[in-house]
Amino acid sequence: MNLIDRNELKVKLDRGDDFKLVMTLTDWPFQTKHIPGSLNLANAKDVSTLPEKDDEIVVYCSDENCIGSKVAYDRLTRGGYGNVRRYAGGIADWEEHSLPLEGDWA
């Protein structure tokens, strides 16, 4: 599994790099709080809404033990997306380090 850590993700966001940041939790947690600029992919069937298969995609969910980003990573890579990374720390790690969030509870 190709991982990205919090620091590298923050740098990419701050630079305005061209990539898709995808939260893999259901709509309610997404509406509550997410990393700014995130798309929501609550269901594996939603993969078809993603961009071109050669675009860079970073998936994340609640924390390192959350299975959502692991499943999304697996399905995306098996589906032919060649540039997928997983931010394992997810919302918990991001929030723990006082980084910006969007959403109703941000």
Domain boundaries, the chain: 6-96
Q: Which residues contact 41 (CB under 8 A, 6 or more apart)?
A: 22, 23, 24, 47, 49, 50, 59, 72
Q: Which residues contact 2 (CB under 8 A, 6 or more apart)?
A: 84, 85, 86
Is 3.40.250.10 the CATH number for 6-96?
Answer: yes
Q: Which residues contact 50 (CB under 8 A, 6 or more apart)?
A: 20, 22, 39, 41, 57, 76, 81
Summarised one tens digit per residue, pLDDT across range 17-65 is 999 999 999 999 999 999 999 999 887 667 666 768 889 999 999 999 9
pTM metric for this prediction: 0.93
